Structure formats: C-alpha cells, structure tokens
C-alpha cells in the first residue's frame, strides 16, 4: 500500500512529530508509514484522513499486489 503522507504533511507544514502528536502515535510510526514499512489500522487511517480533510483513498493507495 502506497501513501501520500509526506506530501500531505508538507502541504500542511507539519513535521512527522506534529502529525504523530495530533493522531496519538509515535514519530517512528509516521516514519514507518511513509517508508511503506507499516500499514496503519483502519481507525488510524481514518484519523489521518479526517485530520487532512480528505477521503482515505486520497491518502492511502491500494496496489494490485496488496
């Protein structure tokens, strides 16, 4: 699963630590998501989408091999 977290953070002028604090996870979790090493839970994906005011599908992209 790909994602646009880094792009969305840049648009909103947020650091990984800023985003992590707002959604209640560690900065390392954000880093792992951005590197596609960690797939967030549905609840976490929804929190991120709500924060950025975008549909989940605009932030997290399901690939054919997922």
Mean pLDDT of the chain: 96
CB 44 within 8 A of CB 16: no
Give, as one character, the DSSP assignment of residue 61: E
> 3-state secondary structure string, 3-58?
ECHHHHHHHCCCCHHHHHHHHCCCHHHHHHHHCCCCCCCHHHHHHHHHHHCCCHHH
* pTM strictly above 0.85: yes
Three-state DSSP state, 62: coil
Domains of the chain: 2-53 (1.10.260.40)
State residue 48's pLDDT score: 98
Where does the pLDDT of residue 59 fall: very low under 50, low under 70, confident under 90, or very high at 90 and above? very high
Q: Would you say the C-alpha torsion 47, 49, 45, 9 has a positive or negative sign?
A: negative
pLDDT in tens, 14-39: 999 999 999 999 999 999 999 999 99
State residue 29's pLDDT score: 97
Where does the pLDDT of residue 65 fall: very low under 50, low under 70, confident under 90, or very high at 90 and above? confident
């Amino acid at each position: 699963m790909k994602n646009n977290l880094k792009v969305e953070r840049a648009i909103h002028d947020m650091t990984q630590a800023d985003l992590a604090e707002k959604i209640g996870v560690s900065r390392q979790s954000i880093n792992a998501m951005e590197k596609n090493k960690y797939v967030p839970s549905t609840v976490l994906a929804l929190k991120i989408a709500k924060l950025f005011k975008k549909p989940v599908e605009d932030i997290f992209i399901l690939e054919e091999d997922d």
